[in-house]
Amino acid sequence: MSAFALTLLTTSTTGFTYPVAAEGTAYTGNYELVGATSDPVFYVAPDGDDTNPGTVDQPWRTIQHAAETLVPGDTVFIRGGVYKEQPTTVRDGNSVEGYIVFSAYSGETPILDGAEVDKIRDACFIIANSYIKLVGLEICNWDTGIWMENCGYVEISDCEVHDVWFGIGAADGAHDFVLNSVELHHFTLYGFDASPSGGADCYNGIFNDCVAHTCRDPTQNVDGFALGHGTQHDFVFNRCVVYDVFDGFDISARDTTLSRCAAYDCLNGGYKLWQDDITLVDCLSYHNEITNVELDWDGEPGTSTLRNCHFVGGGSFNVWVENSADHLHMYNCIIACGDNLGLVFEQTGTANYRGDYNIFHNDDAERAIVVGYEDEFSLSQISAGDWTTYSSQDQHSLVSFDPETELFTDLSSWNLHLREGSIAIDAGTSEDAPSVDYDGAERPQGEGYDIGAYEIPEFSSLIVMLTVLAGLTVPVMAMKKRLKS
């Protein structure tokens, strides 16, 4: 088989097999083009000719010719070089004969470059058919990099899209799609967006190990990953990262889970949560200019669950709830180092809040929790139990008065791993706790679950010293186990 592999973990009710991570777990497959050596294979090269037979020695010239020729089960390997074209898929693959696959040739990078091209439309690569795979392509200098519409069972793996207005868009009922190890950067309005765009809602999308970063125009409302407004549903983000955009994850789709994701250095917020049944687990959000996470009101009540997360260093708010009809459930989370306010309920009342086993800190110690800007709780009041009496929540939660000595390894460099002796160690609840932490280390590793996104490994000082003296390297996987003295 080729070097690209996709290990498929579960089958949907529609018959499509795709990777899904349960809360706190991770999709860990390798990306492989199944059947690439046994099914028909063709080749495209910059010096080819579309009148050729499409063999490795006599390749075609254009990706579009390949799209017009391939049938279900076929693969075209695209040789490295620059292609000045805007391909569109022509026909569907299927679940019996297989996908139609457009893949980079092993070890080479085909670049679809829109610079100095007389463009025929906004998008570079349009996927308008189902059972399509794109692997290993670099796409740059277009209005839109990849556009999916009215299609399903699409996989985009190991692709890079950059210097575009829009990175990858999904619209008009696109469903059951998977993005694996896709990098989106230097875009003007979004890295990825799924929205109805006047058609049907999008649903069943999976994002594994994707990165969106660096907006080209900081004055624009630029999203890293956006799930647009409507009744879209069922998305999973595993180990995805966003930075240097306006909003990191702008989620307006119900039944969405973000596991082991990170958003930082955003000009507005890390996570904007709009709809019902959105879950963040083992996630990081830090050093964002306005909010680290916000529950935005979309006109309908919803519930967002935050579990084993870090929310650190929000410029205005660390956690913000706009409307009292939206429910916040928060367990095993660290809310710390807010420049202004910590946990904020914009309206009065806390009947919409459920939480416990959290750690509260705020740079303004007098405003660690704010309710309707009328009732405010300082760190000392939370520690004394006033917040618990007021809200009937956070009976087992803790307060940190000095996060640099009580919580984090190195706050000045945003190393938010727990430091030795942290008050978060073994202080969390096991109920619904994830089985791994942000780094993938197993939970628990001590007498209890650690609070926050990281589970700290404990090593015997003697073992560590002997290992260093012996000139040995401690394997990363060994850090998943606690070593006892």
CA dist., res. 299 & res. 50, Å (int)? 54
CA dist., res. 295 & res. 273, Å (int)? 5
- What are the φ and ψ backbone dihedral angles of 412, each rounded to 5 degrees? -65, -25
**Residue 47 vs residues 83, 87, 301: alpha-carbon distances, Å:** 10, 17, 58
Q: For the chain, give every domain's residue range.
A: 1-259, 282-485
Beta strand 369-371 pairing with 341-345: parallel
Of 172, 63, 153, 52, the closest CA to residue 112 belongs to 63
Q: What pLDDT is attached to residue 38?
A: 60
Consecutive sets of 10 residues in the chain, 485 residues long: mean pLDDT of each?
33 35 39 52 98 98 98 98 98 98 98 94 97 98 98 98 98 97 98 92 97 94 91 96 98 97 98 96 98 96 98 98 98 98 97 98 98 98 98 98 97 96 97 97 96 81 44 36 28
Beta strand 110-113 pairing with 138-149: parallel
CB atoms within 10 A of CB 462: 10
Q: Which residue has the tokens 């690209």?
A: 4
| Whether 166 contacts 190, CB under 8 Å | yes
Letter string b/e over residues 113-147, b meaning 16 or more CB atoms within 10 A of that residue's CB = bbeeeeeeeebbbbbbbbbbbbbbbbbbbbbbbbb
pTM, to two decimals: 0.88
Query: Given this structure, which CATH class describes domain 1-259?
Result: mainly beta
Cis peptide before 444 (omega within 30 of 0): yes
| Whether 308 contacts 24, CB under 8 Å | yes
